[in-house]
Amino acid sequence: MSQFMGHVYDALFGCHHSHLSRAFTIKGRTYKVCTDCGREFAYSLETMSVMDPSPASHAYPVAVPHAAH
């Protein structure tokens, strides 16, 4: 139940991942990164599209640098 509520919260208030990087292939893994929050999305070179997001896409967190003020 708490996982469901987490998904609802993310859908309403979380990042909508509308700004994705170009596709990267590193060590046989192809993905795009949300430039707003850093979440990674598996990317298919065959269909040239982001694959269905899953919790596994958080397996490799990426630090997103923030501009100094």
At 60 the pLDDT is: 47
Cβ neighbors of 32 (< 8 A, separation 6 or more) are 20, 21, 22, 23, 24, 40, 41, 43, 50
At 31 the pLDDT is: 95
For every one of its 69 residues, what pLDDT tens digit does the chain have, with 9 covering 90 and above? Answer: 777 876 777 777 778 888 999 999 999 999 999 998 899 999 999 999 998 765 444 444 444 445 555
What's the pTM? 0.59
Report the largest interatomic distance among the alpha carbons of the chain, rounded to a whole angstrom: 41
At 44 the pLDDT is: 93
Q: Which phi-psi region, left, alpha or beta, contains residue 28 (left: φ > 0; alpha: ψ -120 to 50)?
A: left
At 17 the pLDDT is: 82
